[in-house]
Structure 1
């Protein structure tokens, strides 16, 4: 790595981690630095204790006057522990308990007791989880033990007030810290859940947008490519006939050009028809994308009832190429239930794309379309779609053709897989020994349930 020299025999130096990682060292030192709240509590607590000591305001006046300035020692210790109330738990709590015991023995200052209650509160709120869970039960047990012990020693009802005082010093701040900590944990969990929900929503949105873009790409390709392919084929034929007409006219001035004009007129007629149909389909798609209810009625999806019209357009587009088109529909509409709309649409698009590919790439011969209901694996009958066409090797060299991008096969496969079906597209052996291209799709009529 540039600017870095490492030796395989180099030995780690002491404190290399602290020196080699300035950000980590700063984090460790920042954890030892007192928080602003701790500094303020320590300063105000010590100042208040000094005022109380100066005026002789002790919790136990007789004992406090006897010890005098010694009471400032527990006060200073408790105030120093307040500096580590966030970062040094539970050690500061143990030191504060020892200082509080010494404060009670020497007469006690109210400032020491108040600062100690904050130490207990901070131990539950900022300390480790195990310490936070243990402080409240220990505080309750200590309060009960102190109350029962004082009643057993003095046997006076007034000792109950000392039990209440002990509960105010230990139980109340511990319980308050536990409540606030639980609320903070709940808030953090809700924030995390909200972030996860937002992330999942964003992932769902991205997936939905991707799926919608793929669906739009399939629709645009399946709807428009058929018409544009016919336009490309016949425009090429018209241009070739026009150029051939000019060359032959120059070579044979006496030859009539009526057949060439007629063929060119037929090609231009097919071009116009497919252009108009493609424009209409494009407008339908644009209206569907903008608002599916623009004209008051939702757009209808193509069905298998339109396969005959597809074949008629294919025959018109294949004029002069030597292609013939046949349809074998073995379904019985009277005895079979209607197919779901997604299945009909997918089957229609498979036939449409297969006919488009046949116009682009097939040679002379017959393009056969077969539709039937097949029962597979004991389940409900599936719709089987099979389209076979001659391979490109039998195509005339002078026949017009249109380039392909391969997106049609991808779109067909996506449509079939979305319905849980199977698709095969590839060469097969024909009945007469010649090679043929086959597209075979099996579309389940009932939805497949994943285990």
Structure 2
């Protein structure tokens, strides 16, 4: 076991105290009259012990206080040294500053009791004001350094607590920043996927048809659809780039898709799905007077857009039905049903990020989303793929984005 080394300042204090005490002794400066029982050099022994205990004042403060007390008592039987008394006050101070919290609270109390008890006893013994003076001196070398140490310790603890709070605040701020960056990246990923996936899927489907069918007319129609989706995709990409470049001081936010654009989306989907035998219909049962918050409209539009894209990739030939319903005070319900069957593979490759993005959008609005095969309606396909989202609508919904 390695014993802790004394602090450099404590070594300087111990050496300085001892040399200062020897200097005063050599000059004959004592605190008491000469004692016949002990020679003058005897005062150097308590001085040496008192100086030595300063070496461990930070490491063993309470033990050193006990040693310092014994040295001070021994000093009273010699000619006395002022340095011994001064170093004792430092021992009391160190016992409060460097000991445990419990001991730090007890030392001032004990010092106060000793001061009061000594003053009363001396007044009773001497029955003169000199007893009160001696009691004041005892208070100066015991109670005063203890109170000073308590004040210094409280200030240090308050500074440590403030530093800890500052570090915790900085850590929380960094966590908030990371979460904000992650959330923004997720939002950008959803927007990019929803805007581009629909057009690129149509391009992939029609380019496959143009390559597999040796029919000039079919090829010409496919190239027309490819060009139309390419232009639309570029337009959406420019909108997203403009949104990312938009200055925070710009008071005109970039326009976001709304449910009013579903007719154009469905018409485009009909054109893209014609070669695969897919038709699309929109059944909008919303009350015309009901306006929806922008985050809800954007989420609903993107859910329909992604569902239509998935239908173009995976659905069997047939009709894809989009249903919207909303009554004032109730949630907006979006439902997309597409024919479900066992195709050998998708018409265009996918990453599976579409469903993840839809779930994230719905979760941000604290809604519900279900997606999977269900039994088809009578007279229709045996099974359909149903995507159903329930988006809560509040009159005070002002969430900025999803």
**Alignment partners' CA distance in 1, 2:249 and 2:97:** 61
1:233 aligns with 2:188: no
**Alignment partners' CA distance in 2, 1:266 and 1:199:** 58
Counterpart in 2 of 1:14? none
Residue 427 of structure 1, CA deviation:
0.8
Alignment of 1:29-108 (within 5 A): 29-30=3-4, 33-63=5-35, 67-108=39-80
**Alignment partners' CA distance in 1, 2:36 and 2:254:** 94
Counterpart in 2 of 1:354? 307
Counterpart in 1 of 2:400? none
Residue of structure 1 aligned with 2:383, choices 420, 428, 435: 435
Contact 1:374–1:384, Cα closer than 8 Å, also in 2: no
**Alignment partners' CA distance in 2, 1:273 and 1:100:** 100
Change (3 A) 1:282 1:292: farther
Alignment of 1:74-223 (within 5 A): 74-223=46-195
TM-score, structure 2 normalization: 0.92
Contact 1:58–1:64, Cα closer than 8 Å, also in 2: no
Change (3 A) 1:70 1:346: same
Counterpart in 2 of 1:417? 363
Residue 130 of structure 1, CA deviation:
1.5
3-state secondary structure, aligned to 2:374? strand
**Alignment partners' CA distance in 2, 1:342 and 1:291:** 19
**Alignment partners' CA distance in 2, 1:96 and 1:147:** 21
Residue 124 of structure 1, CA deviation:
0.9
Contact 1:64–1:107, Cα closer than 8 Å, also in 2: no
Change (3 A) 1:295 1:183: closer
Change (3 A) 1:293 1:46: closer
Counterpart in 2 of 1:408? 354
1:391 aligns with 2:368: no
Change (3 A) 1:293 1:74: closer
**Alignment partners' CA distance in 1, 2:305 and 2:87:** 84
Contact 1:45–1:111, Cα closer than 8 Å, also in 2: yes
**Alignment partners' CA distance in 2, 1:295 and 1:101:** 80
3-state secondary structure, aligned to 2:351? coil
3-state secondary structure, aligned to 1:427? strand
1:285 aligns with 2:259: no
Unaligned runs of 5+ in 2: 398-402
**Alignment partners' CA distance in 2, 1:326 and 1:45:** 97
How many residues of Structure 1 are paired with residues of Structure 2 in the alignment? Answer: 394
Residue 105 of structure 1, CA deviation:
3.1
**Alignment partners' CA distance in 2, 1:165 and 1:183:** 27
3-state secondary structure, aligned to 2:335? strand
Change (3 A) 1:422 1:296: closer
**Alignment partners' CA distance in 2, 1:75 and 1:419:** 77
Alignment of 1:241-256 (within 5 A): 241=213, 244=214
Contact 2:72–2:85, Cα closer than 8 Å, also in 1: yes
Over residues 360-415 of structure 1, what are the superposed CA-to-partner deviations in whole Å (9 max), with x where a residue is unaligned?
1112110011111279xxxx41111111111243x6x8x99211111101111111
**Alignment partners' CA distance in 1, 2:251 and 2:81:** 85
**Alignment partners' CA distance in 1, 2:55 and 2:346:** 89
Alignment of 1:302-313 (within 5 A): 302-313=257-268
Over residues 277-298 of structure 1, what are the superposed CA-to-partner deviations in whole Å (9 max), with x where a residue is unaligned?
1111111111111215798631
Change (3 A) 1:296 1:211: closer
**Segment of structure 1 superposing worse, 137-146 or 158-167:** 158-167
**Alignment partners' CA distance in 2, 1:237 and 1:93:** 95
3-state secondary structure, aligned to 2:234? helix
3-state secondary structure, aligned to 1:49? helix
**Alignment partners' CA distance in 2, 1:40 and 1:110:** 18
**Alignment partners' CA distance in 1, 2:78 and 2:10:** 25
Contact 1:236–1:400, Cα closer than 8 Å, also in 2: no
Contact 1:147–1:159, Cα closer than 8 Å, also in 2: yes
Aligned-CA RMSD value: 2.2
